[in-house]
Amino acid sequence: MTQSSACCGGKGGDVTVDLAKVDGIIDKYGRDRAGILGMFQDIQREYRYLPKDAVAHVCRTLGVPLAKGYEVATFFKALSLKPRGKYTIQVCLGTACHLKGGPNVIEQFERELSVKTGDTTADKKFTLESVNCLGACALAPLVRVDEKDFGKTTPGTVKKVVKAF
């Protein structure tokens, strides 16, 4: 088994990338360049982010310039080059959610978790994100923690959402 150690941004964020696992993901897509987005999604599912060594290995294996690999990795908001928390909190800021208090909800999450939107808590438990739409306007403002939705969230219920995890 080939392994590589990669630093993922400090603060205890070292991770060992199992290149045999990465090769398995590449093989799943037939080593076809057209599958690079799917490969990156699968790698992120495995590591909760895209380690630099994994991106470099995919690019080397597929014969894709590293810059092109990073172009894909940074274009899609769903992909992250920074370590993410065990749980991802997404606060909808689409029109309905915005009008019903979404900005106040996200500000309360920032205070409760002591992070800014787009960052991960020091204990690596939560990553806080804003999103443009979660497709459930009747539940505005909507908060999604991984696959669980919390509708009609208010700044006063933020602590309850955090405690649920």
Tell me the per-residue pLDDT of 6-44, one tens digit each, with 9 for 90 and over.
433 333 345 799 999 999 999 999 999 999 999 999 999
Cis peptide leading into residue 65 (ω within 30°): no
> Which tokens in the block code for residue 116?
């800014």
Q: How many CB atoms lie within 10 A of CB 4?
A: 16
Nearest to 134, CA basis, from 117, 118, 116, 151 = 151
The DSSP call for residue 157 is G
What the chain holds in terms of domains, given with CATH numbers, is 3-75 (no CATH), 87-163 (3.40.30.10)
**pTM for this structure?**
0.74
CA distance 91 to 84: 16
